[in-house]
Structure 1
Amino acid sequence: MKKYKALFEKILDAREVLRGIKHVTRLDHSTTFSRMSGGNVYLKLENLQKTGSFKVRGAAYAMSQLKEAEKKAGVIAASAGNHAQGVAYAATRLGIESTIVMPVFSPVAKIQATQGYGANVILHGTTFDDALAHALKTSKDTGVTFLHPFNDENVIAGQGTIGLEILDELPDVDNVAVPLGGGGLASGISVAINYQKPEVNVYGVEAASAASMKASLEQGKPVKVEGMSTVCDGIAVKMPGKLTFRIVKDLLTDVVTVEELEVTRTLFHLLERAKLVVEPAGCVGLSAYEHGVIDIKNKNAVALLSGGNIDMSFLSRVVGKELFRLGRSVRVKGTILDRVGSMNQVLEIVAASRVSVVEIDQDRFDPDIAPNMAELRMVLEVPDESAVRRMLSMFNEAGLRFELYED
């Protein structure tokens, strides 16, 4: 650990510099996830951090370390999400002008949030790489200071303050699971924890379909991974940095991956049981605990929830899909006589079964259905499986043929 002594000292300095700029987020014990995993699970709530993610820590500390001439020149960064908002907020707090280059297809909510924190937003290109190239060119052409999202010692030091907070609040922690994209967060936390308690296991967790760090470790050098397709956009980094790769290789216990559906199921459980809104990239560490990718039986385990900036339409789709998977929403179809009163008869049976109608559609024009009949399709919310059986039985007793179906 002597090779990282200087970086650890930067982390200690960052803790002092960041007082009043960022929150010291709490460590929240979760009975639900402890029961699911067999361990003693604590959630580090960086989703409740200022700007909604941990990124403000690294951005603020990195800017605090700039020379006066660099501060006067302003800063520029490229991001489609959390780094953008972290830089914008921190720059405004420190009185530094900021410019963020974002892909043209970035969510409107994130563009507006970044502007709301005081940044000048430039929309350029269709991918993060396009935006990054433009930011670097602008920095070179104008002299504005480029702020890297992860491959920078001061950014890493800012993120490492999370590790100090974990040990302050839970000195007997056994495991820490950290979302892993470019590696700045995992690098900072691993230095902070390993320097003080090397016996603690620190894991990096990637999305299986965007595992550039795992691929790099297997090759023994940073490699570029193409064709990423994941809901965990916040950690979908094609290639880790040279600095972060070296630290991860030296200090992390292991780098593991989780699947897309595992992540969204954890996201749903966080929302329903813990009442926490977390973005997919932010809950991969907890997902690794919940689904047994990291064994934490009888151990004190911290899962870092790194961010909560999620698109509301995406969140509604996750909830909808999970309700169907759990059998709490069902699809039912059947045929009824196409005359006054038939629909009312159906709805009376639905109500008597304690089932709620979410969506209903009547088709009178299907050529395969007799002219005096109509097909009825319903999406229903049900309290339990017995209510569905009761409803289908009541339909049958009334001479109505209805059945469950998959879309």
Structure 2
Amino acid sequence: MDIARIDAAAARLAGHARRTPLLSSPFLDEIAGRRVLVKAECLQHTGSFKFRGAWSAISAMPPETRARGIIAFSSGNHAQGVALAAKLHGVPAVIIMPSDAPAAKVAGTRGLGAEVVPYDRASEDRDALGEKLSQERGLVLVKPFDEPEVIAGQASCGLEIAEQAAEAGVSQADVLVCCGGGGLTSGIALALEARAPGMRVRPAEPEGFDDAARSLASGKIERNVRLSGNICDAIITPQPGNLTFPIMKRLCGPGLAVSEDEALRAMALAFRHLKIVAEPGGAVALAAALFRGADIEGDAVICTVSGGNVDPAIFARALETL
């Protein structure tokens, strides 16, 4: 993976993905004890950064391959990103989703024209199910993170961060990224290595599901014991990817983990002070910026709000923390 592939993905995304804003608030700065810059990927198409990788992967396919149809597995954000990218390319999409995925994400995926196939994430292997369906139907699998063109697409977010941070006068900072399998984390790290080498990427995760942080600490891929039971569903994955982890190991600083309550508080503060809606998994990096200040270096911190696809009941819980 090199910057040329990332630049090519960004060129294909031009005019299709949004250049999301880098937001700030003096109230958040006060809470964090330093300058906080928030990359609002919750304002991306389909409400998360996942559209970037989906469009990058599907647009890179030869037309005859793409025409066979797309298959993907996701708890919701990759699902919707793939569903929209496939729809805009005029090809069908089948999405394998966990049976406990938020209703809003399932409805959003179906609303974009995709066929949804449910599975039990605690007892069924989504990779095996995806392989079976792709072979039976001749569909092309777009993996959620362990795919070079997906990583290149997510890296376009890092190119924007480099440009926007420079515009804001920030050249050195920890960049906290909400991390599941590591597609966004590794992509941003690669982009910043090339365009803003003073930045250090650090994965942010929920407590009890911090496989990326544990993997970075041990130097080898570590698995989560549990695969469900946390409101941060968007970033609950079994383990870091075989492609993404070596990139994170080379480029990332130590991981950070936050509680469910801290994620909910971050959601509420983002709504109050930035006027954006974050889902729990998309708020963990902001939570780390606000509530893990002792573990962060420098006068400024940049964090992603990676998604905003939240069920009303969970969002109501968040607002109750205000």
TM above 0.5, yes or no, is: yes
Measured on the aligned residues, the alpha-carbon RMSD in Å equals: 1.9
Deviation at 1:144, TM superposition (A): 0.9
Q: What does residue 66 of structure 2 align with?
A: 71
Matches of 1:112 and 1:33 in 2, distance apart? 33
Residues 226-248 of structure 1: CA deviation (Å, up to 9, x unaligned): 22432211111111111111000
Deviation at 1:101, TM superposition (A): 1.5
Q: What does residue 316 of structure 2 align with?
A: 316
Match of 1:169 among 137, 140, 164: 164
CA 1:38/1:150 → structure 2, altered by over 3 Å: closer, same or farther? same
Q: Which has the higher contact order (CA 8 A, sep 6+)?
A: 2
**What is the correspondence of 1:3-402 to structure 2 with a 5 Å cutoff?**
6-125=1-120, 127=122, 129-171=124-166, 172-175=170-173, 176-228=175-227, 229-293=229-293, 295=295, 299-320=299-320, 322=321
Q: Percent same amino acid among aligned pairs?
A: 36
Check the 8 A contact 1:104/1:124 in 2, yes or no: yes
Check the 8 A contact 2:24/2:274 in 1, yes or no: no
Q: Provide the secondary structure at the position in 2 that maps to 1:264.
A: helix
Deviation at 1:212, TM superposition (A): 1.1
Q: Provide the secondary structure at the position in 2 that maps to 1:210.
A: coil
Matches of 1:137 and 1:244 in 2, distance apart? 24
Moved more, 130-139 or 240-249: 130-139
TM-score by length of 1: 0.74
Matches of 2:257 and 2:66 in 1, distance apart? 39
Check the 8 A contact 1:208/1:258 in 2, yes or no: yes
Deviation at 1:179, TM superposition (A): 0.7
Deviation at 1:258, TM superposition (A): 1.5
Matches of 2:33 and 2:222 in 1, distance apart? 36
Where structure 1 has 5 or more consecutive residues not aligned to the other structure, the ranges are 1-5, 324-407
Deviation at 1:7, TM superposition (A): 2.4
Deviation at 1:130, TM superposition (A): 4.1
Q: What does residue 364 of structure 1 align with?
A: none
Where structure 2 has 5 or more consecutive residues not aligned to the other structure, the ranges are none
Matches of 1:110 and 1:127 in 2, distance apart? 19
Deviation at 1:24, TM superposition (A): 0.5
Deviation at 1:203, TM superposition (A): 1.2
CA 1:102/1:191 → structure 2, altered by over 3 Å: closer, same or farther? same
Matches of 1:35 and 1:212 in 2, distance apart? 30
Deviation at 1:75, TM superposition (A): 0.8
Matches of 2:190 and 2:294 in 1, distance apart? 21
Larger gyration radius, structure 1 or structure 2: 1
Q: Provide the secondary structure at the position in 2 that maps to 1:302.
A: strand
Residues 246-278 of structure 1: CA deviation (Å, up to 9, x unaligned): 000000122121222221111121122322210
Matches of 1:293 and 1:168 in 2, distance apart? 25
CA 1:130/1:235 → structure 2, altered by over 3 Å: closer, same or farther? same
CA 1:152/1:298 → structure 2, altered by over 3 Å: closer, same or farther? closer
Q: Provide the secondary structure at the position in 1 that maps to 2:255.
A: strand
Q: Provide the secondary structure at the position in 2 that maps to 1:254.
A: coil
Matches of 1:295 and 1:104 in 2, distance apart? 36
Matches of 2:15 and 2:143 in 1, distance apart? 23
Deviation at 1:114, TM superposition (A): 0.6
Check the 8 A contact 1:182/1:237 in 2, yes or no: yes
CA 1:238/1:199 → structure 2, altered by over 3 Å: closer, same or farther? same
Deviation at 1:72, TM superposition (A): 1.6
Q: Which amino acid aligns with 1:107?
A: P
